[in-house]
Every structure is written in structure tokens, then in C-alpha cells.
């Protein structure tokens, strides 16, 4: 009787343990999370374009557990003097929030700030003359602010 009871109880217990193990594995971030994050936070235009595409299709990246939240340009205007800096600020927030969550923020801060500046400069490249100069000056000011204040 004892052996039969143990056999009857073992199957449901094993099923629960297996289900819990599977659920835990399903909620774990993929092993390449750091690589993906790095690819989306580089200074180049292709990195920015990749992040833009991923941000537009966030559900496809749900398994990674990225923090997509943003306050855009914090307490500074998102579109100073009409220059559309909001998306650049959002990518910068993405890098800051996700590297902080991974506990490796300080190793990447300088690159994230440089990528932010490059993103802003790509916005400014669309302007010429005095407007372009004003945009570049505003971009430099935003960059200096994040370098000083984080």
C-alpha cells in the first residue's frame, strides 16, 4: 500500500515541479540580453535605427524584460525651439534604465551619453544655416546637461 501511494503521489508532485521549473525558465531573460542592449545603445546611426525598429515592435522583445519607460527629456523641453529631441531622449532613457537594472551602468554611462549626443546631431543635420547652428548649440547644451546631471 505504501509503495502504491508513493507512486500515485509522485506523478502529480513531479508535474508541479516540472511546471514550476518551466515557468521560471520562461520568465528568465534570454542569455543575449546584454548583447542586444549593447547593439541598441551604440553611437552609430544603424544602432539608432535598430532601436527605433525594436521600440516600434516592443511586444516582440517582451521576453527580454527591457524597461521601455521614458520621461523623454526629463524637465527640459522635448522639442526645444522646435527641434525634435524627444526620440533621442527616449533612447537615452532606455540605455540608462536598462544598464542600471543590469547593475552595469557605470561601465556604459559615457557611451550612452555620447550616443545621445550623436542622436541629437543627426536631428540637427536636417537643418542648415543659422537654424542648424542653433540646433547644434542646443544639442551640445543637452549633452553637457546629461554629462553633468546624469
- Could you tell me the pLDDT band of residue 1, with boundaries at 50, 70 and 90? very low
Q: What is the pTM of this model?
A: 0.80
Among this protein's residues, is 92 annotated catalytic? Answer: yes
* Mean pLDDT across 82-108: 97
What does the block give as the cell for 70?
521614458
61-93 pLDDT tens trace: 999 999 999 999 999 999 999 999 999 999 999
Q: How far apart are CA 109 and CA 150, in angstroms?
A: 9
Q: Phi and psi for 93 in degrees, rounded to 5?
A: -60, -45
- Catalytic residue (one of 72, 92, 108, 117): 92
Grid cell in block for residue 80: 526645444
pLDDT of residue 24: 39
Which overall architecture, per CATH, does domain 31-149 show? Up-down Bundle (1.20)
pLDDT digits (tens, 9 = 90+) for 25-60: 445 678 999 999 999 999 999 999 999 999 999 999
Tell me how far apart the alpha carbons of residues 48 and 44 are, in angstroms, rounded to a whole number: 7
State the chain's maximal CA–CA distance in angstroms: 91
pLDDT tens, residue by residue, 110-148: 999 999 999 999 999 999 999 999 999 999 999 999 999
* Residue 7, pLDDT above cutoff 60: no
Task: Kindly list the domain boundaries of the chain, sorted by start residue.
Answer: 1-28, 31-149
Percent pLDDT > 70 in the chain is 81
Amino acid at each position: 500500500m505504501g509503495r502504491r501511494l508513493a507512486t500515485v503521489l509522485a506523478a502529480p508532485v513531479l508535474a508541479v515541479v516540472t511546471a514550476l521549473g518551466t515557468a521560471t525558465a520562461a520568465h528568465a531573460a534570454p542569455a543575449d540580453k546584454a548583447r542586444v542592449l549593447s547593439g541598441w545603445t551604440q553611437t552609430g546611426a544603424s544602432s539608432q535605427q535598430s532601436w527605433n525598429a525594436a521600440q516600434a515592435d516592443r511586444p516582440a522583445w517582451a521576453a527580454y524584460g527591457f524597461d521601455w519607460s521614458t520621461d523623454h527629456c526629463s524637465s527640459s523641453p522635448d522639442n526645444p525651439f522646435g527641434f525634435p529631441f524627444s526620440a533621442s531622449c527616449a533612447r537615452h532613457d532606455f540605455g540608462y534604465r536598462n544598464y542600471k537594472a543590469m547593475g552595469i551602468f557605470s561601465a556604459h554611462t559615457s557611451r550612452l551619453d555620447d550616443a545621445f549626443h550623436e542622436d541629437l546631431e543627426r536631428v540637427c543635420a536636417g537643418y542648415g544655416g543659422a537654424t542648424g547652428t542653433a540646433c547644434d548649440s542646443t544639442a551640445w547644451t543637452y549633452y553637457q546637461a546629461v554629462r553633468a546631471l546624469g
